[in-house]
Structure formats: C-alpha cells, structure tokens
A and B are shown apart, each in its own frame.
Chain A
Amino acid sequence: MNNKILIGAGALIAVIAAVVLITGKGGYQTPITNPPPTPIKSAPPTTTSSLTNEATGSAQQVTVMLTQSGFEPATVTVKAGTKVIWVNNSGDMATVNSAVHPTHLVYPPLNFDQFPNGQSLSLVFDKPGTYKYHDHLNPSQTGQVIVE
C-alpha cells in the first residue's frame, strides 16, 4: 500500500511538473530555444589581441574569439548594455549555449544555433549578472560574461 502511494505521488509530481513546464507557467523559459543567430559581417581570423572593446556611439561591444583551444578570453567583464560578439575561428562548426550542458536553461537568450567557422554571433547583455556559456559541440570549452 505504501509503495503504491509513493508511486502514485511520484507520478503525480512528474505529471504536474510536466504540465507546468510544457505550458510555460512555471516561470521557466522554453528549454532549448535557439533564437536565430544575429550574424554580423564575418571578422577575419586574427592571431593578435582577441579582445576589442570599442565604443560605437553610445553602445559598447566586446569580441570573444572561439579558437581550437576555446573561448578567448574565457571571461569578459562588461557594463550593462554591452554587446558581446563571438567570432568562430575554431576551424569547424561551433555553438554558443547557456549553461548547463545539455539543457541550456540558465539563460535561454544565450542559446544560438550552430555557426560555421568565420561567422559571428552577438548578444546584448542588459542585466547585471554572471552568464556562463559553452560550445555545445565541445562542452569542455566554456566562458562567462560578467555584467556589472
């Protein structure tokens, strides 16, 4: 009898949680949503400084290079409203996805489709916080954006 109650309770919890998640009423973003990448003109591969902090008008932007050894720099600290640009110089397809692999739920706007070598993605970070990400195709390559 106790076993049946526990199984029933577990099933009920699972069903309720599933309904909440599917209908999106639990306050969570739809998992694994991949907004189309915001392509900008391809940046030529560089082997020199991989961090550029340029002020363009009133908006700032920071560039992160994805190479074969990972994201460079792995950590960038920016002000709110800064655009972070990821340039794929890895020689292969890559992605930028929010932590945690493989559900990518911590910050869904940071989930992008695969982008080929030579292409770029960008995202404007409006709110302070620490945003961890990784390459889904090579999850040991990680990075983070610290927004002040």
Chain B
Amino acid sequence: MLILAYHINYMRRLVETPKTQLGIALFLIFITAFINNPSLKIIAIYLFLHFVAVASDLFFLKLRNIFFFSLSASLVSASIITLVVNPNIPWHQLFVIAVLAIASKNFLRVSGRGIFNPAGFGLLAGSLIFPDAISWWGTSFQQFRVQNLESIIFFLILLSPVLISIIRMKRYRIILSFLIMYILLSSISNLLDPTLLFFSLVMLPEPMTTPNRHLPQILFGIFVAVFSFITFLPIQNFQLDPLITSLLIGNLIFFKFR
C-alpha cells in the first residue's frame, strides 16, 4: 500500500509539472491534427518520433554517465517535431531530425543548460540536410471561424499551452513582445494565425533556453520577431524556416543572459 501510495503521489507530482502538462496539451493538439488529417501514417510518425526521442535520450545520457532520466523533455520535443515536420519525408529523415534534437539537448550545453531549443534545432538542422523537412502541418489548419464549432474547438485546443507558458511558467513577456512586434511588422490578422500562435506559445518561451530576467525576455521576443522577417535567404531553392531560424539565433545570442 505504501509503495502504491508512493507511486500515485509521484505520478500526481509528475502531472503537475509544467513540462508534463505541456506534453498533455501537445497530445491534444496532435489529436485535433489527426482528426483533421486522419491517417495511420500520422499515428505511426507520432509513435516513431517519440520512440526515437526517448531511446536516443537514454543513449546520450548513458554516454554522459547520467543516470537520472525524465521522459517529459524528450517527449515534448518529439511532440513538437511531429506537429511541425513534413509528414511526407522518408523515415530515415524523421529519425535524423529526432536524434539531432535530442543530441542538441544533451551536448550543446553551457553551464548545465542547453543553448538551443531542442525541437527547433533538430528541425532546422534537418531542413539544412533534407530540403522541405519543415511544414507546420499540425499547426496551420486551426483557422478561427466563428460559424464553425469544430474550428473553434480546435483553435481553443491550440491555445491550451497558454495555461502553461503564460500562467504557470510566466513567460508572457517573451510571448507578448514577440507577438506585438511581429504584428507591427506584418498585419493584425496574423494574431489568429495558428502557426504563429503555436510557435509563440510552445516553442518560443521554452524556459531552459530563454532568458529568465524580465528585460532580456522582452528583448529576446522582439529580436526573434524582427529577425524572422530578415532570415529568409533569397537564394533559389534554399529558404530557411524564418521562425525557427530566428529562434535558434536568439537562443545563441541571449544564452548569456539567462
């Protein structure tokens, strides 16, 4: 009974952690993406990426002689990759992207903290090796249409990370500064763009790779917004994803200010 109580207590505390709650929110977003695009391949990609992420995390931790292991970080990275990666790329490309993400979490670190957003690193590095690896397929269909109840529900589920990023982790300075600057540079209509909302609520405010102090948080958000409009390379047949590129450059520049 004591052991059972211990495990129940452990699970309860685990579920209450922001990372786990974010994982649950991402799973719900994935469910809506599956409903919008029902296919067994989507489920297979989801399971494959999560398996590769966990397995590679275990492997890399063993290489680093670290025995404590928390699933939540690698699962969150795998969920983000699932929703953003192009589902039509070959399995070996999915594998490489997931491994690169987890490798960056384990090895690109300073003072015990990762430099880059892991999912973002894997996706961008993958897109440099394999063209068209990024598609945002799972975070682009949730258009807010007042007359369509399903679209409203999907949109609200997409917004569910607000409860974690803004309320629990209090990263609202990063999110708001990014959104305000992005809208100033583009159009107010983008405020409801699902890709932008997902990026700003889930990927942008990742706490391990973003500043903790208030002013650097605001500058970080502004920087990522501004840079996303100038990171596209006007080179034929080669264009970097602007949001993820600017996020990773922001991670690199601002990691000293955490």
Contact = CB atoms under 8 A, between A and B. Distances in A.
Interface of A: 3, 6-7, 10-11, 13-14, 17-18, 21-22, 26, 28, 31-32, 93, 99-103, 105-106, 129-130, 132, 136-140, 142
B69 interface: no
A137 B151 CA distance: 13
Interface string B223-253: 1001111101010110111110000000001
Contacts of B136: 101-102, 139-140
18 contacts: A14-B219, A14-B223, A14-B226, A18-B185, A18-B226, A28-B230, A32-B187, A99-B239, A100-B232, A100-B242, A102-B190, A103-B186, A103-B242, A105-B242, A132-B237, A136-B140, A138-B140, A139-B135
Given A6-B256, A130-B237, A14 B137 contact: no
B253 A10 contact: yes
B137 A140 contact: yes
A99 B181 CA distance: 21
B231 to A, nearest CB: 9
Contacts of B234: 106
B77 interface: no
A10 B223 contact: yes
A135 B86 CA distance: 14
B interface, size bucket: 35 or more
Given A130-B237, A139-B140, A28 B229 contact: yes
Nearest to B177: A14
Contacts of B190: 32, 102
A29 to B, nearest CB: 10
B48 to A, nearest CB: 17
A130 B135 contact: no
